[in-house]
Amino acid sequence: MGQYTNMIDLLELQKQFVLAHLREGDVAVDFTMGNGNDTLFLSRTVGESGKVYAFDIQPLALESTAKRLSENGAPENYTLILASHSRVKEFVTEPIRAGMFNLGYLPGSAKKEVTTLRETTMPAVEGALELLASGGVLLIAVYPGHEEGTLEGEMLDAYFRTLDRKKICVTRIQIINSPTSPFFFVIEKK
């Protein structure tokens, strides 16, 4: 987790939530490819008979993800898409069982000004919810250490509060005495 020395490893916890829902043969989406860590995790989890779609707007993210998948012997079950995650419904037509978002900027990139933005994050989340199968899960990691990250978190929190509890359960996991630490939402569809 970099500079964060938390008692709880939030990234590990995210994977546990996904593993509770995702099985071999399922369809999953990595909405923010980055360096491909989540893409690799999803690819291995759904196996040869599953499918993973991964989105990013930066060619560097596609390159490093393709390299990570190849070097780690991932099943050839993935489609890497150089496009905004807000366009998910143009590329993914089947119901998805899991989706992962890591908002913010590409880890390790010098281009820290290239971040996810509220105007594309919101349609991406709405598209993900529409595609989410019954019994599926979305994980959305928010990084409030920069202004856009703080605003994205506030926007999503407000939006999730409006969803029907009988259809969708939204949980927020956050270290409350470390306000700039990353936190995440777990969205489960009944």
The domains of the chain are located at 10-189
Nearest residue to 18 (alpha-carbon basis) of 98, 96, 76: 98
Q: What pLDDT is recorded for position 16? A: 92
Q: What pLDDT is recorded for position 145? A: 73
At residue 169, the 3 state secondary structure works out as strand
* 160: its two tokens: 């999730």
* 125: its two tokens: 């989340």
Q: What pLDDT is recorded for position 152? A: 80
Q: What pLDDT is recorded for position 97? A: 98
* 22: its two tokens: 């995702």
Q: What pLDDT is recorded for position 2? A: 47
The CATH class given to the 10-189 domain equals alpha beta
Determine how many CB atoms are found less than 10 A away from the CB of residue 166.
7
Q: What pLDDT is recorded for position 1? A: 42
Q: What pLDDT is recorded for position 126? A: 95
Beta-bridge partner residues of 27 = 51
The model's pTM is: 0.88
**163 Cβ contact list (under 8 Å, min separation 6):** 170
Nearest residue to 139 (alpha-carbon basis) of 163, 171, 115: 171
Helix (H) or strand (E) segment spanning residue 188: strand 183-189
Averaged pLDDT, groups of 10, the chain, 190 residues long: 57 89 97 94 97 94 96 97 95 97 65 58 93 96 77 89 95 86 92
Please say whether the beta carbons of 105 and 8 come within 8 A.
no
Please say whether the beta carbons of 179 and 169 come within 8 A.
no
Task: Compute the distance between CA of residue 159 and CA of residue 166 in angstroms, rounded to an integer.
Answer: 16
